[in-house]
């Protein structure tokens, strides 16, 4: 008996991936698997636009809200969890629909991740001191001289990932991006087909702006207030989720409601731009789904049946 196919639906935030994944899962008798690094965390259902409880009840959903905000999941940890979930789904003869916007998750699934040697504490300390002395812009330039791919894909303000990339190079003499390109993907030997959901840029921005405004009205402020009350490390992934910083500033009285919304919208548009660029460079051969209507999108993706 052949292994059931696996669908991969990737793309920028706000594009309608979750809705399309659910439509596809219902059409093919499948189950949805999360590939979004922030939708892993249970604390931010509204602010991360996780599927609703009603949608999750319509078809099995996996790896959504499974981590606490105090945890810091790596790509490797997600990949190990995804392997188990995909194996279970396939073992039951079901089809998996993997959906999300975290490019490195899809890269790990399809190309694999290598086991990176541990970094000595002395190198971590030296790297932290270098970052403090140089500042982010100059540190990024130095990183680009040894790992241009990492310097390009890591977002502004992400000190943890910038320093991690330098630490790996300093410890191993090899770029983190090269390490991440090694190894076997979790889908090796499986029949899979990837597609990028990419509506027009102006429409994406409009959707994201409207969605953030709606989030503030429907509980996102309460989510951020609960995070703040826990006193968590600001470097944790959940604390760096889009919208957390400006909404926290609003709650502290440092910004007005309009200012916080505008800042969150701006940050999201910048993130969308980075996602689009990443997927265009890393998945140039994946078909693009551009239909605006959900049924039209479903028709386009079903026309590209997995092998």
pLDDT at 187: 79
pLDDT at 94: 93
Q: What is the pLDDT of residues 237-280, one digit of tens each?
A: 999 999 999 999 999 999 999 999 999 999 999 999 999 999 99
Give the whole-angstrom CA distance, residue 169 versus residue 250: 39
pLDDT at 1: 42
Angle between helices 257-282 and 201-217 (to 10 degrees): 140
Closest CA to 51 of 78, 82, 18: 18
pLDDT at 307: 43
3-state secondary structure of 73: coil
Q: Determine the length of the chain.
A: 307
Q: What is the pLDDT of residues 132-176, one digit of tens each?
A: 999 999 999 999 999 988 888 787 888 888 999 999 999 999 888
Residue 10: strand pairing partners: 100, 196
Give the whole-angstrom CA distance, residue 283 versus residue 268: 22
Segments of the chain with pLDDT less than 70:
1-3, 114-115, 180-185, 188-190, 291-292, 304-307
DSSP 244: H
3-state secondary structure of 37: coil
pLDDT at 305: 54
Give all domains of the chain, ordered by start, each with its CATH number.
6-113+183-302 (3.40.50.300), 121-180 (1.10.20.140)
Alpha helices (H) in the chain, listed in sequence order: 17-28, 53-58, 75-91, 103-111, 121-134, 136-144, 148-153, 159-172, 176-180, 201-217, 220-230, 244-251, 257-282, 294-302
pLDDT at 18: 94
């Amino acid at each position: 008996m052949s292994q059931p196919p696996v669908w991969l639906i990737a793309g920028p935030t706000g594009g309608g991936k979750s809705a399309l994944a659910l439509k596809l899962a219902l059409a093919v008798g499948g189950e949805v698997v999360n590939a979004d690094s922030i939708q892993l965390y249970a604390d931010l259902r509204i602010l991360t636009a996780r599927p609703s409880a009603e949608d999750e009840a319509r078809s099995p959903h996996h790896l959504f809200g499974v981590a606490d905000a105090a945890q810091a999941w790596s790509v490797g940890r997600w990949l190990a969890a995804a392997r188990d979930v995909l194996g279970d789904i396939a073992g039951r003869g079901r089809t998996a629909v993997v959906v999300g916007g975290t490019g490195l998750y899809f890269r790990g699934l399809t190309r694999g991740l290598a086991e990176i040697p541990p970094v000595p504490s002395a190198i971590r300390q030296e790297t932290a001191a270098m970052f403090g002395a140089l500042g982010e812009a100059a540190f990024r330039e130095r990183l680009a001289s040894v790992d241009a791919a990492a310097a390009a894909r890591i977002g502004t303000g992400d000190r943890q990932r910038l320093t991690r990339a330098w630490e790996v190079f300093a410890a191993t003499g090899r770029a983190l991006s090269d390490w991440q390109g090694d190894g076997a993907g979790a889908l090796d030997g499986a029949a899979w087909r990837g597609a990028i959901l990419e509506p027009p840029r102006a429409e994406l921005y409009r959707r994201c702006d409207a969605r953030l405004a709606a989030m503030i009205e429907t509980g996102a402020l309460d989510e951020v207030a609960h995070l703040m009350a826990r006193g968590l490390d600001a470097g944790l992934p959940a604390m760096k989720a889009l919208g957390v910083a400006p909404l926290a500033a609003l709650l502290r009285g440092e910004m007005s409601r309009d200012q916080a919304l505008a800042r969150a919208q701006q940050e999201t548009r910048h993130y969308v731009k980075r996602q689009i660029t990443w997927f265009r460079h890393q998945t140039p051969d994946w078909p693009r789904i551009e239909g605006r209507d959900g049924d039209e999108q479903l028709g386009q993706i079903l026309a590209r049946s997995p092998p």
